[in-house]
Amino acid sequence: MASSTWARALVAGTLVVAAVALLSADTLVLRDGRRITGDLIAVRNGTIEFQERGVYNRRLIRLSRDEVRRIEIDESGVFDDRVGPGRLGGERPGGTDEREVAVAANVAWTDTGIDVRAGQMISFRSRGEVIWGPGRKDGPQGERNSEYNAQRPIPDRPAAALIGKVGRGAGAFFIGDQDQPVRMRESGRLFLGINDDYLLDNRGSFGVTISY
């Protein structure tokens, strides 16, 4: 009896924690009337990346902008199809300060010197090319038709593309050559790198202008 009571309490506690988390979440409002709760990750090249929140799991989904009527941003405003991608109420995405950073292809992570906060919208303008292997040279968008590689920081994204992370132990997020603001999922120091698993034969760097 005691064990079953404990189990019910554990489930109830889990649901309460989940409910509290959902109170501070973003919401996708789709054109078919559905609402999806979670965290807006990025809006780039007509695609919306969204981390869906569930009671027991989190799922990354990608939707065409045409499928979304609006995005309700928690404490930050609303993305609405009437104002276009990247136009959020409140603080202007990308901020007003800028910093130039050289992201070397043979360095795992380059410290940008910028501390960001969760929910902040950061813009990246990147240029240049890197050599990341014999006969392999690409810009910030990375290798076209790149194959899946479980050893790369982001296995299912183009090799050698520009990527970022917040904090030394955090997971990486994709940047590429897009210039739409990217929403930070965590607070901490911002690092940039390239999506490659072997750096010793790499040369060159990307020049990145960061607006924050």
- What is the tens place of the pLDDT at every residue in 157-179? 999 999 999 998 889 999 999 88
Correct CATH for 98-211 of 2.60.120.430, 3.40.50.2300, 3.20.20.70, 2.170.120.30: 2.60.120.430
Does the predicted model carry a pTM greater than 0.75? no
DSSP classification of residue 202 = -
- pLDDT, one tens digit per residue, over 34-88 is 888 888 777 767 788 888 876 555 678 888 888 888 777 654 444 433 333 333 3
Residue ranges of domains in the chain: 2-80, 98-211
204 pLDDT more than 90 = yes
Which residue's entry shows tokens 């901020």? 95
List, in sequence order, every beta strand (DSSP E) within the chain. 26-30, 35-44, 47-53, 58-64, 68-73, 77-80, 98-104, 110-116, 121-127, 130-133, 136-138, 162-166, 173-174, 182-183, 188-194, 203-211
Q: Which residue has the tokens 């019910």?
A: 8
Q: What is the DSSP string of 121-172?
A: EEEEEEE--EEEETTEEE-TT--TTPPP-TTSSSTTS-TT-EEEEESTTSPP
CATH topology of domain 2-80: SH3 type barrels. (2.30.30)
